[in-house]
Amino acid sequence: MAVGGLIDLGEMRHRPEEAAPESPRMPVRRRLAWALAGLTALAATLGPSTSAPAALVEATIPARLGDFPFAVGEQFYVVTSDRGERAGPRTITAYSLPAAQRLWQAPLPLSGALRGVGATAGQMLISTQPELLQQVESVSIREASGQIAWRRRALFEGVTPVRGHVLLWTSPDGTPTASTGNETLEAVDAVTGAVRWSYRVPKGGWLSYRYAGHAPTHVVTLLASGRVEVRDVEDGRVLAAGDLLPPRPPSVPAGYVQFAGELVLVRQESMVTAYGLDRLDRRWAAAIDLPTEYVMPDCGKTLCVVSQRGGVRALDPATGRQLWADPTRTYLSRAGDHLVAATPAHDGLADLAVLDPRTGRQREHLGAWALVGPPGPSGELVGMRTDLTTSRAWLARLDPRTGGARFFALVEAVSGDCEVHAGAVICRRLDATIGVWR
């Protein structure tokens, strides 16, 4: 979730009347929204006592248990559940941010759980699917009115970053399948639904998407012949192709492929060969076991490898040479020009630190936090600490340059599921409604 503007309420120096918890009794939740892979973070030792955040203007958005709330752009949406005894005709309601004023409500003739959401060109995109093997449907809704512009039996895959095309994965009956030869990847106009380009995926072909943030930039096809093709998502043209994999029967799934910066990483047993994304030119080979290790898609000037068994490594993306390894860390991620690592602590906590990308040495200690949303452009993080005995949550801006933190919000009666978006603090309350503070 995108992090919006924050309210600066001063350095943490003096003890407040309602101080933020320094020794929580139990972990809050299993969440780090920008991919902390299931670790939970609560308050640990903070250091100096903190200034009490100033009171914020508070509003409530109606919602019930089972409804799907989410923020896209400058608006917040609530899609009602179509399950349960109290379920009626499904609706979608839009609210402004940060004021939380109701803008409109409209029928939503789709069933099932949300599979994807996005926005572009004044349109909001939603995909739903009733059950795992049932038809997927996507709609384009006008953000200003809630009117449905078009509806398709297809899965929404993302919005291209330059032309704003909507990528849809389609099959003849709308059921999400793969490798049968009947699937098509289409790029359509967000407003009209007109097809801008399409690609019929050959039998045995598997697709992988390379993303920059939330936007897909390239689509890579792994063909049964062993050929690999890289396409530009804006026009569908093939940028590069090469025979990089051994042939396989069309019914056998393709091998592991991951993306890291401008590299395509292709698995070859317990090794990985790195190729340039736009030309598929071979760069290097290194010992990376993709079934048990994950390569972060964007880790700045290093290539970050995280093991499912614990431990992290940093490689030189130009040569594949290992720079350093740390068996005590469990996660690495980029925050602006900084490298942030997580270390497990007592009671399942995640202790965050800023590391030197080239040596792995600790530069700053951020403490234990639940991170709310991805980092800002400068690397600034938003952290949260929750006291389950009072259901209060403190939110702070974390500076990886200095290791400092500034509290900017205190919210109450929340479940711990919060985000900062479009200048507002948005949290699910204990009664399932949505609290908005600004």
Place of tokens 């929204």: 33
Is pLDDT of 354 > 70?
Answer: yes
The average pLDDT across 326-343 equals 93
133 band by pLDDT with thresholds 50, 70 and 90: low
Q: Give the number of other CB atoms < 10 A from CB of residue 121.
A: 14
Phi and psi torsions of 282, nearest 5°: -70, 130
In the structure encoding, which two tokens stand for residue 109, read together?
């003739």
Q: In the numeric block, which tokens belong to residue 69?
A: 């709330």
Looking at residue 6, its pLDDT comes to 31
3-class secondary structure, 434: strand
pLDDT on residue 360: 96
Among residues 47, 48, 97, which one has the least CA distance to residue 70? Answer: 97
Say which residues have a Cβ less than 8 Å from residue 313's Cβ, sequence separation at least 6: 304, 305, 307, 322, 324, 325, 326
pLDDT tens column, 50-104: 456 778 899 999 999 999 999 998 999 999 998 876 777 899 999 999 999 999 9
- Residue 302 and residue 81: Cα distance in Å, rounded? 43
10 pLDDT higher than 80 = no
Q: How many CB atoms lie within 10 A of CB 124?
A: 23
Mean pLDDT value across residues 159-182: 89
pLDDT, residue 1, reads: 35
The predicted pLDDT at position 5 comes to 33
- DSSP state for residue 348 in the 8-state scheme: G
What is the per-residue pLDDT across 278-311, written as a single tens digit (0 to 9) for each?
Answer: 999 999 999 999 989 999 998 989 999 999 999 9
Task: Note the pLDDT tens digit of each residue in 18-54.
Answer: 444 433 333 333 333 333 333 333 333 343 344 567 7
Could you give the CA distance from residue 435 to residue 427 in angstroms, rounded to a whole number?
A: 5
Q: What is the DSSP string of 57-104?
A: -EEEE---TT-EEEEETTEEEEEPP--STT--S-EEEEEETTT--EEE
pLDDT of residue 28: 30
Distance separating alpha carbons of residues 426 and 435, to the nearest angstrom: 6
Q: Rounded to whole angstroms, how far apart are CA atoms 326 and 23?
A: 27
The answer to whether 77 touches 93, Cβ cutoff 8 Å, is yes
Phi, psi (deg, nearest 5) at residue 346: -65, 150
The answer for 406, left when phi > 0, alpha when psi is -120 to 50, beta otherwise, is beta
Report CA-CA distances (Å) from 425 to 59, 104, 120: 10, 22, 23
pLDDT of residue 379: 93
Task: Give residue 39's pLDDT.
Answer: 31
Cβ distance 367 to 46 under 8 Å?
yes
Q: What are the beta bridge partners of residue 155?
A: 169
> Is the pTM above the cut of 0.75?
yes
User: What proportion of the chain, given as a percentage, has pLDDT over 90?
Assistant: 67
